[in-house]
């Protein structure tokens, strides 16, 4: 409240006494509603600011919103995961020959489990009618499925996601360029990775996604060394593995 009342020019500190004198005088003649007296100072009565409630969304609500949105362009991912950019009617192949490292061969047995614990998570949503739903590791994906990726790390840091096809060929996924370094991921927040991926083409077997969570940004080559190590995570603080089950077509 300001120090003066604009309509009457009366000091606020005298306002209480003004009400007492006015009410005692008028009470002898008639009952005066308090509302009538307050109208004189109503412009000065400013309600306190109401704090806006911050909207929070569950992962499912987040991807229900995504279901009506578009996708962004990506390039240089695996040959069986294709992207349909919002600004193009053509489906582009994300196969990038310069990103292939076939000499790494099959993943080591030590990688056939999730490493890192519950504080590092990699989640995938698949767009199927009527709404997107969460896809579990090891569950099947089909041609035409569109996928969105989310990640969360309680500690925060950096994230590099790579794809390995059924032939043992590795390719960078997020970021898509083998010359780029890991993406920043905030602590205790869900990171919705940009773009959507469409599953196409027949596959010769299951495919895998690996999330390398690190304290510092890593190059693609450093990430691959950590994934290929039989008993070590290398520079990756946490590694999470996600299996995309593919139907083998003869």
For residue range 180-193, what is the model confidence (pLDDT) as tens digits?
A: 999 999 998 888 88
pLDDT of 159 over the 50 cut: yes
- Cβ atoms of 220 and 180 closer than 8 Å: yes
Residue 14's pLDDT band (cuts 50, 70, 90): low
- Cβ atoms of 174 and 223 closer than 8 Å: no
Q: Is 111 helix (H, G, I), strand (E, B) or coil?
A: helix
Q: What is the mean pLDDT of the chain?
A: 67
- Cβ atoms of 77 and 173 closer than 8 Å: yes
* pLDDT in the model for residue 78: 35
**Phi, then psi, of 181 in degrees rounded to 5:** -110, 175
- Cβ atoms of 178 and 98 closer than 8 Å: yes
Which domains are seen in the chain, by residue range?
A: 1-51 (no CATH), 59-244 (2.60.40.2550)
Beta-bridged to residue 197, according to DSSP, are: 147
* pLDDT in the model for residue 35: 57
Residue owning tokens 């739903």: 133
104/162 Cα distance (integer angstroms): 13
76 Ramachandran zone, left/alpha/beta (phi>0; psi -120 to 50): left
- Cβ atoms of 59 and 193 closer than 8 Å: no
Name, in order, each residue with C-beta under 8 angstroms of 5's C-beta and a sequence gap of 6 or more. Answer: 11, 12, 15, 40, 41, 44
pTM of structure = 0.55
pLDDT of 129 over the 80 cut: no
């Amino acid at each position: 409240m300001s120090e003066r009342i604009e309509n009457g020019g009366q000091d606020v500190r005298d306002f209480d006494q003004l009400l007492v004198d006015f009410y005692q005088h008028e009470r002898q003649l008639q009952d005066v509603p308090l509302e009538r007296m307050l109208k004189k100072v109503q412009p000065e009565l400013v309600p306190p600011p109401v704090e806006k409630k911050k909207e929070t969304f569950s992962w499912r609500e987040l991807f229900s919103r995504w279901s009506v949105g578009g996708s962004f362009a990506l390039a240089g991912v695996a040959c069986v995961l294709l992207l349909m950019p919002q600004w193009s009617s053509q489906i582009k192949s994300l196969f990038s020959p310069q990103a292939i490292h076939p000499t790494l061969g099959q993943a080591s047995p030590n990688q056939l489990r999730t490493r890192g614990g519950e504080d590092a998570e990699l989640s995938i949503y698949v767009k199927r009618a009527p709404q997107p739903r969460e896809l579990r590791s090891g569950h099947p994906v089909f041609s035409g499925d569109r996928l969105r990726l989310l990640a969360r790390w309680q500690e925060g840091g950096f994230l590099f996601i790579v794809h390995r096809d059924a032939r043992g060929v590795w390719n960078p996924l997020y970021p898509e360029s083998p010359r780029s370094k890991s993406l920043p991921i905030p602590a205790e927040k869900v990171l919705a990775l940009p773009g959507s991926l469409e599953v196409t083409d027949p596959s010769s077997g299951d495919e895998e996604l690996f999330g390398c969570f690190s304290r510092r940004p890593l190059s693609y080559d450093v990430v691959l060394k950590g994934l290929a190590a039989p008993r070590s995570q290398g520079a990756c603080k946490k590694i999470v593995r996600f299996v995309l089950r593919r139907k083998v077509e003869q």
